Structure 1
């Protein structure tokens, strides 16, 4: 495990790197891409894609994975109460909640993994690549926009992964249920 000072150094270096990469077109790109991690967009997407493409049961799995990850993330935020970064000016209005973990990173990761791991799914390479790219871009957007530390994003991805894998192992979501 990283020592607190090394973690802080890593977080600050990550934000400095993101700040150094600023350009007008990236400002616009990441301000738009970050919305792919919002709960409202992802729940709507889960419901629309789920019921249209894979039935009620799988739509319920993806939606539950997403809402559960969001709830878990916000619970951890209340416990950790980590302030938002203030090394560089944020490019969007600073969210009011705590920084750790990144809810956007958690939510988009939960959506992507739940979609890929939904019962009966056999995703192709393109589907996997698109979902992983979307999750990666949302995570990068949170750093680029200066609203999260890198460790917030990594923690969000890890917690979402753990949540979705544990949820998928429950008897209700097994293939023969």
Structure 2
């Protein structure tokens, strides 16, 4: 019970911290940046990559990672049925689904990690940095906009990481590195 209280206190402190940082330009910036974690943006991007690289298993890996992680995230939302935060007014219309885990965090993590770990490739440092920064901005945006608790975002990133690592270990996407 005490750990639940600690998470709740941490969640509330995190939302209070980002609320205190509000400025009109950040309001606008995070309302746009949050879309980088949306399935409406990431799925067409993954499918476009897959279509342009037909026959390339790495592109199929990215699409499978994104779609599978998103499905798992939405399943966990139904199981957890955690209400959205209401400590401060949200800066965008409140999504109608449950809060836990953050689907945006699940999706952006799955996409970024799958792109980084896709078979037969070795992404450069700049590529990895861009993906990490994009994911971090989506994470912060969900808190800043007051539509998720910090624990929702952490759980979403963790769920996606576990899914992508599991998927990468399947025989279809293993590779012999020598």
**What TM-score do you get using the length of structure 1 for normalisation?**
0.95
SS in 1 for 2:98: coil
Distance 1:77 1:100 in 2: 5
Please name the residue that 1:145 is paired with: 145
Q: Give, in angstroms, the shift of residue 69 of structure 1.
A: 0.4
Please name the residue that 1:163 is paired with: 163
Q: Give, in angstroms, the shift of residue 45 of structure 1.
A: 1.1
Q: Give, in angstroms, the shift of residue 82 of structure 1.
A: 0.3
Distance 1:112 1:91 in 2: 26
Q: Give, in angstroms, the shift of residue 26 of structure 1.
A: 0.4
Aligned residues: CA RMSD: 1.6
Q: Which moved more, 1:2-11 or 1:143-152?
A: 2-11
Distance 1:53 1:12 in 2: 44
Distance 2:153 2:29 in 1: 18
SS in 1 for 2:153: helix
- Indicate yes or no: 2:160 matched with 1:172: no
Q: Give, in angstroms, the shift of residue 2 of structure 1.
A: 6.8
Gap runs ≥5 in structure 1: none
**What TM-score do you get using the length of structure 2 for normalisation?**
0.95
Q: Give, in angstroms, the shift of residue 50 of structure 1.
A: 4.0
- For residues 7-49 of structure 1, the C-alpha deviation after alignment (integer angstroms, 9 at most, x for no partner) is 1000000000010000011001100000010112101111223
Q: Where in structure 2 are the equivalents of 1:1-177 lying within 5 Å?
A: 3-52=3-52, 56-175=56-175
Distance 1:55 1:92 in 2: 40
Would you say how many aligned residue pairs link Structure 1 and Structure 2?
Answer: 176
Q: Give, in angstroms, the shift of residue 55 of structure 1.
A: 5.0
Change (3 A) 1:51 1:121: farther
SS in 2 for 1:3: helix
Q: Give, in angstroms, the shift of residue 79 of structure 1.
A: 0.4
Distance 1:75 1:53 in 2: 30
